[in-house]
Amino acid sequence: VSDHSNPLPHMFPSAEQFGRDVGGLGVSNADTVVIYDAGGWVAAPRAWWMFLSYGHRNVRILNGGLKKWRAEGRAVESGEVKPKPATFHASYDPKRVRSIEQMIANVESRKEQVIDARAAERFEGRAAEPRPGIRAGHIPGARNVPYSQLFDAATGEMRPLDDLRRSFTGAGVKLDAPIVTSCGSGVSAGVLTLALYRIGVTDTALYDGSWSEWGQASGPPIATGPA
């Protein structure tokens, strides 16, 4: 469910496409949507934020995902799923998403704090990016909170609220000031967005293009080293 005309990976689609694709999965505006992933906290938060961004507030995430579900001995099934199509009317809220133009302007104004979800070695520019042709480093002025710090890899559960709060404040993030989350391609940034939401910071935005856009050879200036 992404903009297939955009060369960047899995960018937000139009509201029309989101409604059509989600409706094709059998989801209607009247449904409570519960999202889970394999338990590594990568995909589910991104899908959750997309639903919120397209006007569907009745959406939840299963804490621990499929990993915890299986560990508890709960039933699973396999095979092809053929949902009955439904009608989903999407209404896009641009306040929840940031473009590269807005991010470039923010480097000058510093009105919004930028938090990067990538691992420290990638954020600091000590490790090469996995995507060919992408520079190493981070957006000038950004802070780093690796998304892997926010959940227990053994159980798949997100960490307690006090631990989440310490992860952000320990990185120098002011929880009472505007925040934009970012990552490699706009997916794991959703983990930060969800963690912030859980501790009461609900009005953040997500930089959709993230480092796959900013880090291109022709992209804006970058920074390296610790925040």
Q: What is the set of active-site residues?
A: 183
Alpha-carbon distance of 182 to 185, in angstroms, equals 8
Contacts of 204 (CB under 8 A, 6+ apart): 96, 178, 179, 180, 181, 193, 196, 197
Residue 196: its H or E element: helix 189-198
43-53 helix and 189-198 helix, angle to the nearest 10 degrees: 70
Whether the CB-CB separation of 93 and 54 falls below 8 Å is answered with: yes
Give how far the C-alpha of residue 63 lies from the chain's centroid of Cα atoms, to the nearest Å: 16
Contacts of 74 (CB under 8 A, 6+ apart): none
In sequence order, the β-bridge partners of residue 143 are 115
Q: What CA dihedral angle connects 198, 20, 23 and 29, to 10 degrees?
A: 60
SS3 211: helix
In sequence order, the β-bridge partners of residue 181 are 115, 206
